[in-house]
Amino acid sequence: MQTHNNVRGIVAMLIAVGFFSLMDGGLKQLSAHYPAMQVAAIRGLSSLPLVLLWVAASGTVATLWKVRWPLHLLRGALSIVMLSAFAYALKRMPLTGAYALFFVAPLLITSLSVPLLGEKVGPRRWSAIAVGLVGVLVVLRPTGDGVLGWAGLAVLVAATAYALSAIMVRVLHRTDSSQSMVFWMLVMTGLGAGVLAWPAWQPLQGADGWTIVGVGLSGFLGQVAITEAFRSGQASVVAPFEYSALAWALGLDWLVWQVLPDGMTLVGAGIIVASGLYLLRRERVHIEAEHP
């Protein structure tokens, strides 16, 4: 039974990654025409109607108000930082390079879980984190022709904001529904980023209408799929398939923008992914040791 559920979770994760990659491709397209903060607002608002239908269909409207407001507000602020920083980076670098750096997020989540959640991280996992940071330096290449610059640093800011938000989800999940977490994150992202973007707001172009619809639809479907992935399968089995996003990024960069990363960027991405996979393996061993 567990094997069947894990297969279901893996399939759902692969679908989620595909949708999120398409969404990021749409954000990259929009970032060429609109300021980064406006792109973040578009991301939040475009998925909101679909999320409202999902909440109504699941009969969880009442749970939207029974939430821990301070944590939701903080998570909304982190979402604005993450999306605006990522949109800024996507305008200036290939999707593959951005993903290669963003893969540092699982390492950051493990690191931050120590001071913020009181979790214990052993020397092997700290070593994996250190190796992952070496991979980041390979991608950035501060002394060479890597992606070090405002764009590369913006991706690291986005990854840090994502890691902090993920840790908050662990806390919120104890008391708040999944629907409330998705709903309020999108509301706060859309409205908050919209207010911040308003002074430099650019009129939406009709030609971008389908891209905006695609961002909203793919973002919503990706969220539903990733929720199903972690609901069905064991996290330690399902999570590694998030790294399939690199294949999507390579394909989109080649098909849409006719660019490919250099070899060193792929080497750095490989180091980061390998360290992340090792962390997930150690996490599984740790859980099995606690619950034999």
pLDDT at 215 over 70: yes
d(CA 203, CA 98): 27
pLDDT at 246 over 70: yes
Kindly state the tokens that stand for 226: 């990733």
Under 8 Å between Cβ of 75 and 172: yes
State the pLDDT at residue 223.
87
Which of 11-15, 90-94, 113-117, 268-272 is least confident?
113-117
Q: Grade residue 130 by pLDDT with cuts at 50, 70 and 90.
A: very high
State the pLDDT at residue 290.
55
State the pLDDT at residue 230.
80
pLDDT at 235 over 80: no
Q: Is this model's pTM higher than 0.85 or not?
A: yes
pLDDT at 148 over 70: no
For 244, which DSSP code?
Answer: G
pLDDT at 146 over 70: no
pLDDT in tens, 157-173: 999 999 999 888 888 88
State the pLDDT at residue 166.
87
Output the average pLDDT for the chain: 89
Percent of the chain with pLDDT over 70: 93
Percent of the chain with pLDDT over 90: 61
d(CA 177, CA 53): 16
What is the mean pLDDT of the segment spanning 122-143?
Answer: 86
From residue 103, give the alpha-carbon distance in Å to each of 48, 51, 129, 245, 277.
Answer: 27, 27, 12, 10, 11
**CA torsion 118→124→126→131, rounded to 10°?**
-150
pLDDT at 224 over 90: no
Sequence letter at residue 263: G
pLDDT at 263 over 80: yes
State the pLDDT at residue 36.
97
pLDDT at 267 over 70: yes
State the pLDDT at residue 11.
94
pLDDT at 270 over 90: yes
State the pLDDT at residue 2.
62
pLDDT in tens, 45-67: 999 999 999 999 989 898 899 89
pLDDT at 145 over 70: no
State the pLDDT at residue 287.
59
